[in-house]
């Protein structure tokens, strides 16, 4: 029973823990040009970028890199030139909360990328788009492996626990029904004698 409660808590918390969804925003708005730890694409690899700038500059950069570049920041201009003067679009509509959650996500991915991805990033820092299918495959197999290693949070495990409990209840009901019938039979027998 403890396990069931635990499973319910685990399942509901993994659904509920979105809040400001940094991962979702990153995947929707940034991943077309950036990776975290998988090498450069259209834009730079954002691994550890939270340590490169202070929060104020980072937020300003994401909201409008062009403003910083046009402001004459030499570091920004160099980066802009390095990336063939591809303009990163402005994201001035993102709130501080949303930016914070994106940075949290980048920070988390920087510290703890799945090991296979870290090694691909290391050997292919310069080759980029061509590696994407490989990375996707690695991601898929990493996910599969996680599924095997940690079955306790999986829906299959949850389903199995529910099934076992269900059959337990059915057995208990059947047992009581048999007991009741047995009592009835004994009573009838006694009254017949």
Binders of ligand HEC among 31-60, rule CB under 6 A?
A: 32-34, 42-44, 46, 49, 52, 58
For ligand HEC, the closer of residues 52 and 152 by Cβ is 52
187 binds ligand HEC (CB under 6 A): no
Build a one-symbol-per-residue string for 80-109: x at contacts with ligand HEC by CB under 6 A, - elsewhere. x--x--xxxx-x----------x-------
65 binds ligand HEC (CB under 6 A): yes
CA 54/CA 63 separation, integer angstroms:
14
77 binds ligand HEC (CB under 6 A): no
Q: In the bound complex, what is the minimum distance in angstroms from residue 41's beta carbon to ligand HEC? A: 8
Residue 182, token pair as written in the block: 């047995």
Q: Positive or negative, the Cα torsion across 67, 85, 75, 36? A: positive
User: What's the DSSP call for residue 90?
Assistant: P
61 binds ligand HEC (CB under 6 A): yes
CA 175/CA 170 separation, integer angstroms:
9
132 binds ligand HEC (CB under 6 A): no
Backbone angles phi, psi at 81, to 5 degrees: -70, -40
Q: Are 177 and 183 in contact (CB under 8 A)?
A: no
135 binds ligand HEC (CB under 6 A): no
Backbone angles phi, psi at 180, to 5 degrees: -60, -45
For ligand HEC, the closer of residues 60 and 131 by Cβ is 60
Q: In the bound complex, what is the minimum distance in angstroms from residue 103's beta carbon to ligand HEC? A: 8
H or E element, residue 13: helix 2-16
């Amino acid at each position: 029973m403890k396990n069931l409660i635990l499973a319910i808590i685990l399942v509901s918390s993994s659904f509920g823990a979105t809040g400001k969804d940094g991962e979702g925003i990153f995947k929707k708005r940034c991943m077309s040009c950036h990776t975290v730890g998988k090498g450069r694409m259209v834009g730079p690899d954002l691994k550890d970028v939270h340590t490169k700038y202070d929060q104020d500059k980072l937020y300003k950069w994401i909201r409008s890199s062009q403003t910083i570049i046009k402001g004459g920041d030499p570091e920004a201009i160099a980066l802009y030139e390095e990336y063939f003067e591809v303009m990163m679009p402005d994201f001035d509509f993102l709130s501080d909360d949303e930016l914070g959650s994106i940075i949290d996500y980048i920070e988390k991915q920087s510290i703890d990328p799945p090991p296979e991805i870290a090694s691909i990033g290391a050997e292919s820092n310069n080759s980029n788009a061509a590696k994407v299918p490989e990375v996707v495959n690695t991601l898929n197999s990493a996910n599969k492996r996680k599924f095997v290693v940690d079955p306790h949070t999986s829906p299959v495990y949850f389903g199995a626990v529910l099934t076992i409990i269900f059959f337990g209840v059915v057995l208990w009901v059947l047992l009581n029904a048999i007991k009741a019938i047995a009592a009835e039979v004994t009573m009838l027998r006694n009254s017949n004698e």
